[in-house]
Structure 1
Amino acid sequence: MKKHLIAAVMSSAMLAPMFVANTVNAADYVIDTQGAHAFIQFKVSHLGYSFVMGRFNDFSGDFSFDASKVEQASINVDINTDSVDSNHAERDKHLRSPDFLNTAKFPKASFKSTSVQDKGDGKFVVNGDFTFNGVTKPLAIDAVMIGEGDDPWGGYRAGFTGTTTFKMKDYGMKMDLGPASANVELELVVEGIKK
């Protein structure tokens, strides 16, 4: 009896670290930028008559998410601001200048979450610190879960959309195109592959 008890205890002790490791990593994902299944897009009113739309082509990040514990979720994203792309070479050159992104001085932007509020029905608010153009300020992103599950290649994925708006002047952008063009709308599509 003692031998069986000792064997059971030893087996449990040996399996425990594996269980803990799997539990810790169970909800950790890397954002799928290599497969182009994630996007950071922006939209700015052009003088109140139209819109300039574009994206950042080079970014990376990861997140942790468990649908049963949304408040414990977190996300970190790093953006290469020099990768700005509005489908117009001369405008992109201007966007990289000190008038806007000043990419020579501030080549990176980042978002690091600080808390997540569960709004129910797959909706939540991600609060965090957004560093852009050398300025760090709190930013809230309204997020929606698209879905999660197995992929055809043996992996597991989870996907979300997010939207937020910020004022250009809050992040030290010098160019003033008038009140109609004061705000930047960001739209995020994030698909992660489970680590």
Structure 2
Amino acid sequence: MKKSYLSLAVLSVALCFTSCDEVAINKATFALDEELSVVEWKGYSPTVYHHGAFAVESQGIEVVDGKVKGGVFSIPIATIQNFDLPDEMKPVLLEHLKSPDFFNIALHPSATFKITNVKSLDAPVNGATEGANYTVTGDFTMLGQTHAITFPAQIETDSGGLRILADFQLDRTMWGMNYAADPALGEHHILPKVDIKLNLVAHKE
């Protein structure tokens, strides 16, 4: 009987060395490179547009068997930038965007995105970033509201690096950002949909 128990113990240890090693090899966390990662935005009226960017932060992106499985990203609204206006005009636009008319930064200093599902993309999607190979679904929280969004993305991983590229649109009114969203305003109308461009770079921890 003692030999049987000993054999079972040896077998358990052997299985742990094989299966546990496989789990350790196949599961990894990638740290976001915040210097290289950016979320760009472009908003439109009927006659003009404005283009800018936000910084993005993350505590880590989970990758299993070479595929992204999870991650939470935070966008500090105070990092908002504008690229198209003269320097003397940029503060006017940026302060308005931080105000209660738009992001209401005093009450909601950040927006967050939590990945809930990533699956292979079987067919091309109009407007998607070139080389999109996955569909990403997650919960996007802004202005105290959370709604699920889905978008195509190009995701590339290797032994030491990860990159996520995506182009899609968000309807700001879904989160209650309704300022100037009425088409009756004519040239002062601000279109509800905003172009979003992701460029996320991460390195294996």
Would you call these one fold, judging by a TM-score over 0.5? yes
Q: Identity over aligned residues, as a percent?
A: 20
1:76 equivalent in structure 2: 72
Q: In the alignment, is the contact (CA less than 8 A) between 2:71 and 2:114 conserved in 1?
A: yes
Change in CA separation of 1:58 and 1:114 when aligned onto 2, cut-off 3 Å: closer
What is the TM-score with the length of structure 2 in the denominator?
A: 0.74
Greater radius of gyration (CA): 2
Stretches of structure 1 lacking an aligned partner (at least 5 in a row):
151-155
RMSD: 2.9
Change in CA separation of 1:52 and 1:12 when aligned onto 2, cut-off 3 Å: same
Deviation at 1:125, TM superposition (A): 1.0
Partner of 1:160: helix, strand, or coil?
A: strand
2:29 equivalent in structure 1: 28
1:55 equivalent in structure 2: 53
Q: In the alignment, is the contact (CA less than 8 A) between 1:98 and 1:174 conserved in 2?
A: no
Deviation at 1:135, TM superposition (A): 1.2
Partner of 1:65: helix, strand, or coil?
A: strand
Partner of 2:121: helix, strand, or coil?
A: strand
Tell me if 1:115 matches 2:117. yes
Partner of 2:101: helix, strand, or coil?
A: coil
Tell me if 1:161 matches 2:165. yes
In 2, the alpha carbon distance for the partners of 1:123 and 1:98 equals: 38
In 1, the alpha carbon distance for the partners of 2:121 and 2:110 equals: 31
Q: Which amino acid aligns with 2:177?
A: M
* Residue from 139, 142, 163 that aligns with 1:129: 139
Change in CA separation of 1:65 and 1:14 when aligned onto 2, cut-off 3 Å: closer
Deviation at 1:138, TM superposition (A): 1.0
Change in CA separation of 1:95 and 1:38 when aligned onto 2, cut-off 3 Å: same
Aligned residue pairs, count = 180
Deviation at 1:113, TM superposition (A): 1.6
In 1, the alpha carbon distance for the partners of 2:118 and 2:12 equals: 39
In 2, the alpha carbon distance for the partners of 1:127 and 1:58 equals: 18
Q: In the alignment, is the contact (CA less than 8 A) between 2:75 and 2:110 conserved in 1?
A: yes
1:172 equivalent in structure 2: 176
Deviations 1:150-171 (A, max 9, x none): 6xxxxx1011201221212111
In 2, the alpha carbon distance for the partners of 1:116 and 1:107 equals: 27
Change in CA separation of 1:9 and 1:111 when aligned onto 2, cut-off 3 Å: same
In 1, the alpha carbon distance for the partners of 2:154 and 2:65 equals: 12
Q: Which amino acid aligns with 1:44?
A: G
In 1, the alpha carbon distance for the partners of 2:170 and 2:59 equals: 21
In 1, the alpha carbon distance for the partners of 2:63 and 2:56 equals: 23
In 1, the alpha carbon distance for the partners of 2:151 and 2:172 equals: 16
Deviations 1:76-107 (A, max 9, x none): 11111121111411211110000000010001
Q: Which amino acid aligns with 1:193?
A: H
In 1, the alpha carbon distance for the partners of 2:161 and 2:142 equals: 29
* Residue from 99, 104, 107 that aligns with 1:105: 107
